[in-house]
Structure 1
Amino acid sequence: MDVHDRVIAIIAEQAVLEPRDIREDQTLEELGIDSLGLVESIFAIEEAFDITVPFNANDPGASDFDISTVGSIIREVDNLVKAQAEA
């Protein structure tokens, strides 16, 4: 399973939806994921990919990690995974 599919699966689990029902242009809010669900998603992503997400749960807007849409989260995770592989 690649980064895209794993991130979609994690978000789908938090949203209690099927992965096929998740679109990259959707926001987490549109999927019914609240702030607690966001934090749980970030933890699940960190665990799944063995990465550290630069995310401030107290102020998500101040983070360098773009959580604006599902697609942006996928891109951010993909970048972190690639950076870790190069390190």
Structure 2
Amino acid sequence: MSDSVKEKIFKIIAEQAVLDVSDVGLDSTLEDLGIDSLGLVESIFAIEEAFDIQVPFNANNPTESEFDISSVASIVKAVEGLVSEQA
């Protein structure tokens, strides 16, 4: 897991949840952090912009998307996968 990807995602999620970055953990869910559906959309847009990637439109449905948003760790892994596809 790339530290820079993880750090950027932690920062984005912390900003959306109005928390300190230290409050965000890999095992945290967005729900645990108080991020609602609007916050999720804003987080996804911020992640897309930060990494110059395109998150699948069906990311909120894990049965239809490879982009898993069930936890911070899964988001980091999914972003790393999309970033590596661009390389």
TM-score by length of structure 2 reads 0.89
Equivalent residue, structure 1, for 2:24: 22
Q: Spell out, residue by residue over 1:45-64, the C-alpha distance to the aligned partner (whole angstroms, 9 max, x if none).
A: 0000000011327xx12332
Q: How far apart are the structure 2 equivalents of 1:33 and 1:82?
A: 27
Equivalent residue, structure 2, for 1:82: 84
Q: How far apart are the structure 2 equivalents of 1:83 and 1:65?
A: 13
Identity value in percent: 64
Which is further off, 36-45 or 62-71? 62-71
Question: Aligned residues, how many?
Answer: 83
Counterpart selection for 1:52 from 47, 50, 54: 54
Equivalent residue, structure 2, for 1:72: 74
| Structure 1 residue runs without a partner (length 5+) | none
Equivalent residue, structure 1, for 2:40: 38
